[in-house]
Chain A
Amino acid sequence: MSTTLLQEYHAPERAPLVIERFLRDREGVWRQIRLEYGLNALLGQMLASSTVALACYGLVMGSSHSLWQALASAFKLPVLFLLTLAICLPTLYLFNLLCGGRLSARQALALVLSALTVTATLTLAFAPITLFFLVTAQSYPFFILLNTTILLLTGAVGLSFLVSGMHSMNAQARAEQAVQDQNKTIEQDGSSEQIAQAPAPQLRPVSMKLLLIWVLLYGFVGTQLAWTLRPFHGDPSMAFILFRPVESNFYIGVIQTIGRLFR
């Protein structure tokens, strides 16, 4: 045997490749999160891979303006996603508890980070397309709209991954509960003594309606935070600036940019 092979796999999976496991062995990932087995390592891998992927895409976005803008965007894009996660995570966890759900805070964090990892990696996969348009199309409004569309699209895919993960975890929990109930019935049937037992408290799976409401909240917070952290591209007619003054909002900004594109 290959000592090399053993050493290679003794080390945790390389952080940037954690996405491969997500796409090939989804059920295994949900199971790992549900059982909280080796969760710290998984959380670290997801955090590292999504930060690196978003920083790389931020570099591409900001490179349309200047080196300073590229560096600022490389810092701001991971901050945008991670801060949105930090702002919204307590609501997901506490709502889940209020509705009798069984998620722990670490499980909630792992679920949202898994969505973020998918979003970040998909966003990075769009980097060559963004670079292509950066070189071939010199329109600033077009570039803003292109990146907004890419980020909204990848964000939506990531959140749908989160919803499917929650579905799968709920199904696994229900199956486990059914097996436990069956075992209990067999044990009771087998025993000669019939003791009246109070039913064990049943924890409900996470409510999907609640999750969808949370996804909307996450979207609102994310878009507003993105508006607060702008510029990510930098207006070519202006000098580098770290933050623009907070005025208007994201949605009006998008409508105005569409207007400028067709003017």
Chain B
Amino acid sequence: MSAQIDHLLGLGAVGLVALGAVLLLLRFSGRAGLGRGRLLLGYPSELFPAQHLTRGGALAALAATQSRLASIERQVPPQSDLSIWLCAFLHELRAIMDTAYRVRVITEIYGRPAQLDRLVAEVQQIEVEIVEHVSRRLLARDGDTQAELLDGRLATLRMCVRELAA
């Protein structure tokens, strides 16, 4: 029985060392491809070979929405709430785009192209809401900046008045 336990412990130790090495490699090794956090834009031909499906229709509309939202994301301040939220939504949208592509490819085989209009309409509706929200936030930020500017001018004026009075 003790020999069995020794055997098991030995194998457990080997397993732990090997697993530790693999986890370390996965944690610290670099990435050769797209990498985490980087977003794939549109439908590049090497990942989505059925380019005749992506050039027009619903898939092109989704890609255009993604492109517009990605350009907005680049303009908002990094690490802000808005940027984090937009980034999460862009990753969701990427998953939706991948799914839509797969559905189109599969349904095309059966000669009944999938109607993705409702999906596109929903995504575009979300895009409109996002754009409105971002505009409001940016305008609010702009308002704050102008208020700060006015405060600065007021302080300068007060200083001038004090100097004149003196």
| A interface residues (Cβ-Cβ under 8 A, vs B) | 1-2, 5-6, 9-10, 28, 31-32, 34-39, 79, 83, 86-87, 89-90, 93, 102-107, 109, 228-229, 241-243, 245-246
CB–CB A243/B34 < 8 A: no
CB–CB A10/B33 < 8 A: no
Subset of 30 A-B contacts with CB under 8 Å: A1-B115, A1-B118, A5-B103, A5-B106, A5-B107, A6-B100, A6-B114, A9-B99, A10-B95, A10-B99, A31-B47, A35-B33, A36-B35, A37-B40, A83-B11, A83-B18, A86-B21, A87-B14, A90-B21, A90-B22, A93-B29, A104-B30, A104-B33, A105-B29, A107-B32, A109-B22, A109-B26, A228-B11, A229-B11, A245-B3
Q: Kindly state the separation between the CA atoms of A34 and B47 in the bound complex, as whole angstroms.
A: 10
Closest to B118 in A: A1
CB–CB A104/B96 < 8 A: no
Contacting residues, chain A, for B46 (C-beta < 8 A) = 31, 35
Q: Kindly state the separation between the CA atoms of A107 and B124 in the bound complex, as whole angstroms.
A: 36
CB contact between A1 and one of B15, B102, B114 (< 8 Å): that residue: B114
With A6-B119, A93-B25 known as contacts, the answer to whether A36 contacts B32 (CB < 8 A) is: yes
A39 to chain B minimum Cβ distance, whole angstroms, is 8
- For this complex, into which size category does the number of interface residues on chain B fall? 35 or more
Contacting residues, chain A, for B41 (C-beta < 8 A) = none
Closest to A32 in B: B47
By secondary structure, the B interface counts as helix
Does B8 belong to the interface (CB within 8 Å)?
yes
Contacting residues, chain A, for B31 (C-beta < 8 A) = 36, 104, 106
Does B75 belong to the interface (CB within 8 Å)?
no
With A31-B46, A32-B47, A104-B33 known as contacts, the answer to whether A1 contacts B116 (CB < 8 A) is: yes
CB–CB A5/B114 < 8 A: yes
Does B19 belong to the interface (CB within 8 Å)?
yes
Q: 5 extra interchain contacts, Cβ-Cβ under 8 A, other than A38-B98, A104-B32, A245-B7?
A: A5-B107, A35-B33, A83-B18, A106-B29, A246-B7
Closest to B33 in A: A36
Closest to A88 in B: B18
Does B71 belong to the interface (CB within 8 Å)?
no
Does B4 belong to the interface (CB within 8 Å)?
yes
Q: How many A-B residue pairs have CB under 8 A?
A: 100
CB contact between A2 and one of B15, B22, B32, B114 (< 8 Å): that residue: B114
Closest to A83 in B: B15
Q: Kindly state the separation between the CA atoms of A36 and B11 in the bound complex, as whole angstroms.
A: 32
Closest to A91 in B: B21
CB–CB A102/B7 < 8 A: no
With A36-B32, A86-B18 known as contacts, the answer to whether A9 contacts B102 (CB < 8 A) is: yes
B104 to chain A minimum Cβ distance, whole angstroms, is 10
Which parts of B55-114 form the interface with A (CB within 8 Å)? 95-96, 98-100, 102-103, 106-107, 114
Closest to A40 in B: B36
Closest to A13 in B: B102
Q: Kindly state the separation between the CA atoms of A107 and B32 in the bound complex, as whole angstroms.
A: 8
Which interface residue of A5, A9, A89, A90 has the most chain B CB atoms within 10 A?
A: A9
Q: Kindly state the separation between the CA atoms of A253 and B158 in the bound complex, as whole angstroms.
A: 97
Q: Kindly state the separation between the CA atoms of A137 and B15 in the bound complex, as whole angstroms.
A: 36
Contacting residues, chain B, for A35 (C-beta < 8 A) = 33-34, 46-47
With A36-B31, A37-B40 known as contacts, the answer to whether A9 contacts B106 (CB < 8 A) is: yes
A171 to chain B minimum Cβ distance, whole angstroms, is 13
Contacting residues, chain A, for B102 (C-beta < 8 A) = 9
B110 to chain A minimum Cβ distance, whole angstroms, is 11
CB–CB A89/B25 < 8 A: yes
Contacting residues, chain A, for B25 (C-beta < 8 A) = 89-90, 93, 105
Contacting residues, chain B, for A229 (C-beta < 8 A) = 11
Contacting residues, chain B, for A36 (C-beta < 8 A) = 31-35
Q: Kindly state the separation between the CA atoms of A102 and B33 in the bound complex, as whole angstroms.
A: 10
